[in-house]
Amino acid sequence: MSAHIEVRFTPSPESAEASFGRDVPVRLALHETADGAITIDIRIDDEAGHGLGLGALVFDFADHEILGGLHMDGPRLRGRNVSSGRVRAAGDDARGYDCGVRFERDTRHGMPAPRATALQLAHDSLCLTIDDLAGRDFALHLVPTAANRASGHGLVIEGRLPGRPARQTRDAGATDGSVFGGVFEQILPLMGRRAAQMGDAA
């Protein structure tokens, strides 16, 4: 009696992150989720006490043909927009982007702009990956958090969204000659033992 073992390789969700800004460092990370969405984590590392929070994020998307099915969600959002090359942050005369969100703030009522948040980007019918955002231009608008500075000038950080991490190279010590890096060397003995057990049972 022969044994049949089916081996399936399912890609695991990946993450990519990078830091931007000199005077006010900001960490931006992209995380693929198991349900086909992308989480964008943004955090201000403002140790110098500049008193700035997140005002708006605008960014480009790889495939303009599927922009119509995109939707964004997350805490403290007061506005979101998707439109190829036409999305701008409030008061910004720079070029337009494909996607954008504004973050809620009300300094007069004790609700300053957030210093960290997580934005989820998803599509109605397609699975998104880091490749949909990797290397795309973005602009992050920072605004004052103190009530007495709410009308003051903020800061704009521009850059490119982080890309997918480089994949590890194949194990140089593998002897099976495959791209799986020696995984069959571990599976074949198990298959042999399983076949022997089934043969004894027969």
The answer to whether residues 102 and 194 belong to one domain is no
Residue 151 CA to residue 128 CA, distance in Å, equals: 37
Note the pLDDT of residue 10. Answer: 44
Q: Which two tokens stand for residue 53?
A: 């929070």
Tell whether 50 is covered by a domain.
yes
Residue 109 CA to residue 129 CA, distance in Å, equals: 38
Query: pLDDT, tens digit, for every residue of 154-189?
Result: 889 999 999 987 765 544 444 444 444 554 455 555
Please give the full DSSP string across 104-137, using - where no structure is assigned.
--BGGGTBPPPSEEEEEEEESSS---GGGTTT-E
The answer to whether residues 37 and 125 belong to one domain is yes
User: Average of pLDDT values for 20-41?
Assistant: 93
Which of 141, 160, 179 marks a domain boundary? Answer: 160
The answer to whether residues 19 and 98 belong to one domain is yes
Note the pLDDT of residue 197. Answer: 53
Host domain of residue 101: 15-160
Tell whether 145 is covered by a domain.
yes
The answer to whether residues 153 and 113 belong to one domain is yes
Q: Where are the beta strands (DSSP E) in 24-103?
A: 26-32, 38-44, 52-59, 70-73, 77-87, 97-103
Number of domain units in the chain: 2
Reported pTM: 0.72
Q: Is the pLDDT of residue 109 over 90?
A: no
Give the CATH number for residue 65. Answer: 2.60.40
The answer to whether residues 96 and 196 belong to one domain is no
Tell whether 6 is covered by a domain.
no
